[in-house]
Structure 1
Amino acid sequence: MDISAEFISIGGNRNPAAADWDAGGLRFLAFGADNSIALWDPLDEGLHGIRLVLNGHIKAVNAVKFFPTGSHEKSVLLSGSADHTLRIWRGHRYPEVEFEQIKTVIEHQGQITRISTLARPGSDIFVTGSSDGTVKIWRLVHDSDFSEIDVELLQTIALSPKYFPLNIALASLDESSIILAVAGTRSTIQIFLSRDTYFDLVASLTGHEGWIRALAFTWETSDEDSDLLLASASQDKYIRLWRVHRGEELPAVSNALTDPALGGLGKSLSNKAHRIESASAKYSITFEALLLGHEDWIYTASWRHREGKLQLLSTSEDNSLAIWEPDPNSGVWICITRLGEISAQKGSTTATGSAGGFWVGLWSPDGNSVVSLGRTGSWRMWTYSEPEDMWAQQVGITGHTREVKGLCWSRDGSYLLSTGSDQTTRLFAQWRRDNKSSWHEFSRPQIHGYDLNCIDSITDSQFISGADEKLLRVFDEPKGVADILNRLCRIEATTTELPDAANIPVLGLSNKAIQTVEDDEPVANGEDDEREAVDPASIVRKSTLDFNHPPFEDHLARHLLWPETEKLYGHGYEISAVATSNDGRLVATACRASSIDHAVIRLYDTKEWLEIKPPLKAHSLTVTDLQFSQDDRYLLTVGRDRQWVVWERGSDSNSYSLALSHPKGHTRMILGASWAVSGLKQPTFLTAGRDKTVKIWQFSSKEYQLKTSISMASPVTAVECLRQSIPNRLVFAYGTEAGELGVGAAPISSLDQAQVTGVRQNDNPGKAINQLVWRPTKDDEKLQLGVGSDDTSVRIFEVSLA
């Protein structure tokens, strides 16, 4: 059996140090995603998204940095995490792109917050900073082709007074010295200088009035006698530039300090010269320029020489990304390009509010593209177009930023819905163009105020989701999303009576249906109250939804909600599971419970959305999974009380009653259940439990039989049977608490002879798998399996049965 990853979606960590784009090597962009590291090629014309996810760290990844190898065939990646470890990975391109973990180093006593390397190949020094208040200097020991790699600790600098180093920058000052800048949870920058490989504190630069979030060195020009520039960006909303000048003479005073735009501020800017000395020369460090323009904390600053010009890229909490360069005449630094969102739309972080800031900003290796990561875990990308002299936004990648709890395919299998603890529901589909196809997020139907736990499709254009708010909500597809899916994914709409779009009213949780307006149509206030102003962010113009590519993050976060049509009440605690009958007429739901009164299953009809009473009582603790059989004759429920229960449909087709139960189906709680394909001689179902087993059961009128029990290496958290009929075989997928994924098959004539095939270790999710869903397909198509897990990823695997 062959199982391969077709698509991976995962959100980035909100940490400015947790991303790096390899300028040499394999040209991948690596970013921390929960405990894992994701690798993406933003310049890939096929838009295949994330290529690999590296698992190994056991806590959130805070810092990643590529080590310069000087080779396009190999990459070396350094990663630091909240688990106090530094890990070294080696990547190669042939025969296929692969990264392997080479070494794990535990020297720091706290979280590793930053890693910095020297930008030039041939230098083996790198530096790590940690929340234990130390900075460690390392040497990477390797042979010429990096087949042997080791590390050597050269020095530990205890920062005094103690602070957390949020930022570290390294540069070669001359043949004999390396300059090191360290800053973080204080407003000063400490400058260290090396003699041989030992670093001494030589200067403290003052001026900032908040924590310093970014540091970056660059040479001003490529001349031999060029000065070194240091950019520092802070929570005080300013970027400061510092000049490191060689010689006894001080550099000419920068014109930037007398810039009239600074007003009275210019007089107070200190230009005190800090004199430092390496083994071979004397230097001075002076304040060069103050860059004003951001309206909130600045997170990153990075240099790039583009076409003979020196440019600085900065990202900020104000939802903007700025590119700065000096004016050729006056030398004053000005912002030449601003990308991102208009500050007027800043505010709440709901569907109609702000993006929540840009946390990371990186240049592409060729300097013609920039990428940034925002609060929602999504990457945006802009590429410079020479003929138009402007930066155009490109398709980026998106993903959940917290655990993925629920997953379901649409009834016809045309798209996949996921939902999770980051309080969003996302729709993934295949963009089909020419001879290419790639998976992307096409809609964000629900942006909520509570963690979402479960989801299921009712029809091809309607779904239901359950959250921690104790109720369930039903959503209908809007016309705007149906048109986009039809145009880009060739998914035809099944119904014509659809609202245009949806939005969330201020301070509300319910998505309201709205009509889109023409571009030139004025927006009038409501007739009821003339004093009530219309929120411009709540208006959707028709042209906003007219594009020929997968939606950008700004579309997803604002304009592609689904209107809510129903709320289902009745449960007393957080919703834990939901399932729709195969004919779409019933919805079964359950909530978290510690007593028999709350551990009931409630049924609702989907026509009038009324509860069918009485609720089904049998379980005494939370029901963890429920599923209707293919003919809807039975409903299977399992729970934390270790029992499974089969309910049988009554004569009026809407009522179910207890048919069979096993109070000790597993020795520990049961976490997953699934009906086998219909057409077997006896009804057959599978259960999966914390006792590390998957069990196959069959039953007749009043008797059940355990056909086989398959043991796994760790607790089994999800199981799902393939609903398509495979001749003479029962096929199922399972997922474990350790993130192991596998597919099993058993001959129908002898179910006790089940064989299981695991996924390659590198393709497994990094944490517990919460839900598995087989894609409903026509017989001639490949089998595809959707996987949602605690490592924040949504994955689609292709399975070919031998």
Structure 2
Amino acid sequence: MNVSPEFISIGGNRNPAAADWDNAGSQLLAFGADNTIALWDPQDEGLQGVQAILSGHTKAVNAVKFFATQSPDVSVLLSGSADNTLRIWRARRGERFECVKTLSDHTQPVTRIATLPESEIFATGSSDGSVKIWKFVHDAEFTSIDVELTQTINTSPKYFPLNIALAPLDESSTVLAVAGTRSAIQIFVSRETQFHLSATLTGHEGWIRALAFTRETPDADSDLLLASASQDKYIRLWRLHQGDELPAASTALSDPALGGLGKSLSNKAHWIDSAMSKHSVTFEALLLGHEDWIYQASWRHREGKLQLLTTSEDNSLAIWESDPNSGVWVCITRLGEISAQKGSTSATGSAGGFWVGLWSPDGNSVVSLGRTGSWRKWTYSAAEDMWAQHVAITGHVREVKGVSWSRDGSYLLTTGSDQTTRLFSQWKRDVASPSWHEFSRPQIHGYDLNCIDAVSNTQFISGADEKLLRVFDEPKGVAHMLHNLCAIDFPTSTSATLPDAANIPVLGLSNKAIQAIDDDAPNQNADEDDGDAIDPASTIRKSTLEFKHPPFEDHLARHLLWPETEKLYGHGYEISAVAVSKSGALVATACRASSIDHAVIRLYDTKDWLEVKPALKAHSLTVTSLQFSADDEYLLSVGRDRQWVVWGRSTEEAMYTLKHSNPKGHARMILGAAWTTLELPTFMTAGRDKSVKVWQITETGVQLKATVTASTAVTAVACSGKLVNSRLMFAFGTENGEIGVGSIASEALDEANVCMVKTEVSPAKTINQIVWRPGREEGEQQIAVASDDTSLRIFKVQQVSS
């Protein structure tokens, strides 16, 4: 069996230090994603998204930094995590990154990493209140890499270092800036191998979130500039000038735009000494313009000008440069969301701030990461003299709990603990290989979502921690987009009844249908005397729903919801499982339970959405998985009470009764269940007792035909919808992220061939669900895998002829 990754979607961690774009060799962007590191090439014309994921850390990755190797053939990546470790990864051109060293010197989470280009030094900051200075020891080819700890600087009990920056001061010494949970910046200067505290810069009024050094001009002898950005919404620039004399006083202090602030800005000079020279540190400028906390600042020399990129909680990304005439620093470009469009909650589409802002290696693109885990990318067009937004990548930021293909396999739905449901499909354009993207965010919710299933190609049902299930219908705007970009057939039979779009009323949880109006239609609210003035939120301009490319994050969060058409009540606790019958006429649901009264399975018919009574009673603890057989003759349920139950359809179409049960189906709780497509009714169960069992219903009862063992608890199992070379294909996932893909000859069920997917492409945490893509040719099978490591992965499965 050959199993290869086809697509990975994963959201970025909400930490300003958890991403870096390699200026040299690989030109890849690395970002922390839960406890893994994702690698993405934002300049890739094919838009193939995340290329690889590096697993190794056991807790969230807080800091990621590329080390400048001065070699185009070797990339070295440093990562720091909440598991208190620092890992060093190395990759040669065209090869995967491998972890070559793990350092455990910090006693608390590693929060920051700073490197010094053209030097072997790097520094790390941690919640243990220390900054550690390290030195790389390696050969020219980086075949052997070792690290020496040269110094530990303690900043506690005064403050915790939130960030650090390094720069060469002169030929013999280095300057280190450290700041964090207080409003002052400490400047350290190295003498031989040790750093000594030389100055403390005051002026900010809040915690300092960003520090960045640069030379004022590309000339090595020019002054050093330090940018510091804070929770006080201001950016301060500081000048480090060599010599006994102070630099010419900055005219920026008398800038009339500062108003009364100008008087309170101290221009006190701080003096710092190295072994060779003396430097003054003076306040240079105050940059005003952000309306909320500032998270990141980074310098770049672009086209002969020095520019500073900052990102803020106010949903904007700003580029600043100094006015050549007055010397005043001004914001020349602002990208992101305009204040008027901000919502008050995630439900009304607010982005919740930009956490990361990075320059591309050529300086002509910038990317930023927002609260929803999605990246945004802008590229500068010299011809139009403007920054244009381009397609970037998106992903869940919490555990992905449920995944379901549409009935015809044309798109994929995922749902999870970040309270969103997302729709992925392939963009079919004139390139060699189509690329996968998120095309719609049907549900943005106020509760964690646990399970999902497609009712038809234009309808799905999802269950959450709120004790009820919700049914959603595809709006016309999304159907048109999927038809135009993904070549998915437009639903002609139901198109007359489909609403145009949906939104969430400001104080509501339910998506309401809204209509699309022509761009030139008059605004209904213009006439004050009109008694029928409509709410502007209940309409949308048609042009907003016309896309020539996969939608950007702003549209996904605001305009591509699906209207909710039904709510299903009845359960008393959080919904744990949902399954739709193969005919689409019935839905079976279950909830978390600790007694036989609550561990019931409720059935609803999809025509009138009424419950089919009575509820099915057999389990005594939570039902973890439900599935209907291919002909809907049987419903299989498994639970934490270690039993599986097969319900058979009675004479009445919608009624099911208990046919078979096994209270000791597994030695531990059963977490997954799947029907096969064999002629005799055969099903599989997966349990915490590290096994997958194959059962067959015969005239005499249910027989155990085979047991497939795994190395750890099995949490999900799925069977392909068709036989391949008269063999049954199945896949299972385990508690620690392993995936096994196997095949069984239909006449010898006890002989299973299982191939384990390579660890480097498998998820890093528990697998919650696996589903096979329907409607695929025999040699082109695919599985979608939802995992607790926040990733959705699609794998291609090919049977290799022996």
The interval holding the TM-score normalised by the smaller chain is: over 0.9
Q: Give the AA of the match of 1:561.
A: L
Query: Residues 696 and 224 from structure 1, CA distance in 2 versus in 1: closer, same or farther, beyond 3 angstroms?
Result: closer
Residue matched to 1:105 = 103
Residue matched to 1:719 = 717
1:369 aligns with 2:365: yes
CA distance in structure 2 between the partners assigned to 1:619 and 1:795 by the alignment: 32
Query: Could you tell me how far 1:778 is from its partner in structure 2?
Result: 3.7
Question: How does 1:284-433 map onto structure 2 within 5 Å?
Answer: 284-433=280-429
Query: Residues 563 and 108 from structure 1, CA distance in 2 versus in 1: closer, same or farther, beyond 3 angstroms?
Result: same
CA distance in structure 2 between the partners assigned to 1:126 and 1:532 by the alignment: 66
Residue matched to 1:750 = 748
Query: Could you tell me how far 1:683 is from its partner in structure 2?
Result: 1.0
CA distance in structure 1 between the partners assigned to 2:488 and 2:60 by the alignment: 38
Cα offsets for 1:237-288 (capped at 9, x unmatched): 0000000000000001111101000011101100000001000000000000
What secondary structure sits across from 2:32 in the alignment? Answer: strand
1:138 aligns with 2:163: no
1:469 aligns with 2:459: no
CA distance in structure 2 between the partners assigned to 1:528 and 1:700 by the alignment: 74
Q: Give the AA of the match of 2:583.
A: D
Q: Give the AA of the match of 1:787.
A: V
CA distance in structure 2 between the partners assigned to 1:745 and 1:418 by the alignment: 26
CA distance in structure 2 between the partners assigned to 1:39 and 1:279 by the alignment: 41
CA distance in structure 1 between the partners assigned to 2:339 and 2:630 by the alignment: 52
Question: How does 1:152-301 map onto structure 2 within 5 Å?
Answer: 152-301=148-297
CA distance in structure 1 between the partners assigned to 2:482 and 2:293 by the alignment: 38
Cα offsets for 1:479-516 (capped at 9, x unmatched): 00001100000001223121100000011011001101
Cα offsets for 1:647-673 (capped at 9, x unmatched): 000111100000000000000000000
Query: Residues 531 and 85 from structure 1, CA distance in 2 versus in 1: closer, same or farther, beyond 3 angstroms?
Result: farther
Query: Residues 204 and 738 from structure 1, CA distance in 2 versus in 1: closer, same or farther, beyond 3 angstroms?
Result: same
Residue matched to 2:495 = 496
What secondary structure sits across from 2:478 in the alignment? Answer: helix
Query: Could you tell me how far 1:726 is from its partner in structure 2?
Result: 2.1
1:481 aligns with 2:451: no
The answer to whether the 8 A contact 2:779-2:799 is kept is: no
Query: Could you tell me how far 1:345 is from its partner in structure 2?
Result: 2.2
Query: Could you tell me how far 1:179 is from its partner in structure 2?
Result: 0.2
Query: Could you tell me how far 1:528 is from its partner in structure 2?
Result: 13
1:683 aligns with 2:676: no
What secondary structure sits across from 1:175 in the alignment? Answer: coil
Query: Could you tell me how far 1:91 is from its partner in structure 2?
Result: 1.4
Residue matched to 1:641 = 641
Cα offsets for 1:437-462 (capped at 9, x unmatched): 10000000000000000000000000
Residue matched to 1:124 = 120
CA distance in structure 2 between the partners assigned to 1:276 and 1:726 by the alignment: 74
Q: Give the AA of the match of 1:241.
A: L
Residue matched to 1:48 = 48
Cα offsets for 1:328-364 (capped at 9, x unmatched): 1000000000000001222412342421000000000
What secondary structure sits across from 2:517 in the alignment? Answer: coil
Structure 1 unmatched ranges of 5 or more: none
CA distance in structure 1 between the partners assigned to 2:474 and 2:349 by the alignment: 22
Query: Residues 533 and 760 from structure 1, CA distance in 2 versus in 1: closer, same or farther, beyond 3 angstroms?
Result: farther
Residue matched to 2:784 = 786
The answer to whether the 8 A contact 1:504-1:511 is kept is: yes
The answer to whether the 8 A contact 1:457-1:463 is kept is: yes
Query: Could you tell me how far 1:520 is from its partner in structure 2?
Result: 3.0
Residue matched to 1:61 = 61
CA distance in structure 2 between the partners assigned to 1:271 and 1:787 by the alignment: 58
CA distance in structure 1 between the partners assigned to 2:255 and 2:538 by the alignment: 41
The TM-score normalised by the length of structure 2 is 0.98
Query: Residues 223 and 415 from structure 1, CA distance in 2 versus in 1: closer, same or farther, beyond 3 angstroms?
Result: same
The answer to whether the 8 A contact 1:777-1:783 is kept is: no
CA distance in structure 1 between the partners assigned to 2:463 and 2:205 by the alignment: 46
CA distance in structure 2 between the partners assigned to 1:532 and 1:216 by the alignment: 55
The answer to whether the 8 A contact 2:130-2:156 is kept is: no
CA distance in structure 2 between the partners assigned to 1:493 and 1:347 by the alignment: 32
Query: Residues 130 and 534 from structure 1, CA distance in 2 versus in 1: closer, same or farther, beyond 3 angstroms?
Result: farther
Larger mean Cα displacement after TM superposition, 576-585 or 515-524: 515-524
Query: Could you tell me how far 1:750 is from its partner in structure 2?
Result: 1.3
Q: Give the AA of the match of 2:452.
A: I
Larger mean Cα displacement after TM superposition, 364-373 or 157-166: 157-166
Query: Residues 532 and 231 from structure 1, CA distance in 2 versus in 1: closer, same or farther, beyond 3 angstroms?
Result: farther
The answer to whether the 8 A contact 1:566-1:609 is kept is: yes
Query: Could you tell me how far 1:74 is from its partner in structure 2?
Result: 1.5
The answer to whether the 8 A contact 2:211-2:229 is kept is: yes
CA distance in structure 2 between the partners assigned to 1:659 and 1:71 by the alignment: 68
Residue matched to 1:654 = 654
Cα offsets for 1:212-239 (capped at 9, x unmatched): 0000000000224300000000000000
What secondary structure sits across from 1:230 in the alignment? Answer: strand
What secondary structure sits across from 1:509 in the alignment? Answer: coil
Larger mean Cα displacement after TM superposition, 586-595 or 222-231: 222-231
Residue matched to 1:632 = 632
What secondary structure sits across from 1:544 in the alignment? Answer: helix
Percent identity for Structure 1 against Structure 2? 72
Query: Could you tell me how far 1:536 is from its partner in structure 2?
Result: 5.1
The TM-score normalised by the length of structure 1 is 0.98
CA distance in structure 1 between the partners assigned to 2:35 and 2:534 by the alignment: 43
Cα offsets for 1:545-597 (capped at 9, x unmatched): 11211000000000000000000000000000000000000000000000000
CA distance in structure 1 between the partners assigned to 2:778 and 2:3 by the alignment: 17
CA distance in structure 2 between the partners assigned to 1:92 and 1:581 by the alignment: 50
CA distance in structure 2 between the partners assigned to 1:25 and 1:712 by the alignment: 40
Residue matched to 2:541 = 541
Question: How does 1:78-117 map onto structure 2 within 5 Å?
Answer: 78-94=78-94, 97-117=95-115
Cα offsets for 1:297-334 (capped at 9, x unmatched): 00000000001000000000000000000001000000
CA distance in structure 2 between the partners assigned to 1:30 and 1:778 by the alignment: 33
Query: Residues 341 and 396 from structure 1, CA distance in 2 versus in 1: closer, same or farther, beyond 3 angstroms?
Result: same
CA distance in structure 1 between the partners assigned to 2:185 and 2:27 by the alignment: 31
CA distance in structure 1 between the partners assigned to 2:148 and 2:537 by the alignment: 54
CA distance in structure 1 between the partners assigned to 2:319 and 2:38 by the alignment: 26
CA distance in structure 2 between the partners assigned to 1:534 and 1:177 by the alignment: 67
Query: Residues 532 and 82 from structure 1, CA distance in 2 versus in 1: closer, same or farther, beyond 3 angstroms?
Result: farther
The alignment's C-alpha RMSD in Å is 1.5
The answer to whether the 8 A contact 1:111-1:132 is kept is: yes
The answer to whether the 8 A contact 2:347-2:446 is kept is: no
Query: Could you tell me how far 1:531 is from its partner in structure 2?
Result: 9.5
What secondary structure sits across from 1:433 in the alignment? Answer: coil
- Matching residue within 697, 707, 710 for 2:708: 710
The answer to whether the 8 A contact 2:723-2:729 is kept is: no
CA distance in structure 2 between the partners assigned to 1:93 and 1:714 by the alignment: 35
Query: Residues 529 and 6 from structure 1, CA distance in 2 versus in 1: closer, same or farther, beyond 3 angstroms?
Result: farther
Residue matched to 1:457 = 454
What secondary structure sits across from 2:485 in the alignment? Answer: helix
Residue matched to 2:509 = 509
What secondary structure sits across from 2:665 in the alignment? Answer: coil
Residue matched to 1:672 = 672
Larger mean Cα displacement after TM superposition, 537-546 or 565-574: 537-546
Larger mean Cα displacement after TM superposition, 748-757 or 311-320: 748-757
Query: Could you tell me how far 1:415 is from its partner in structure 2?
Result: 0.2
Count of residues paired in the alignment: 796
The answer to whether the 8 A contact 2:514-2:538 is kept is: no
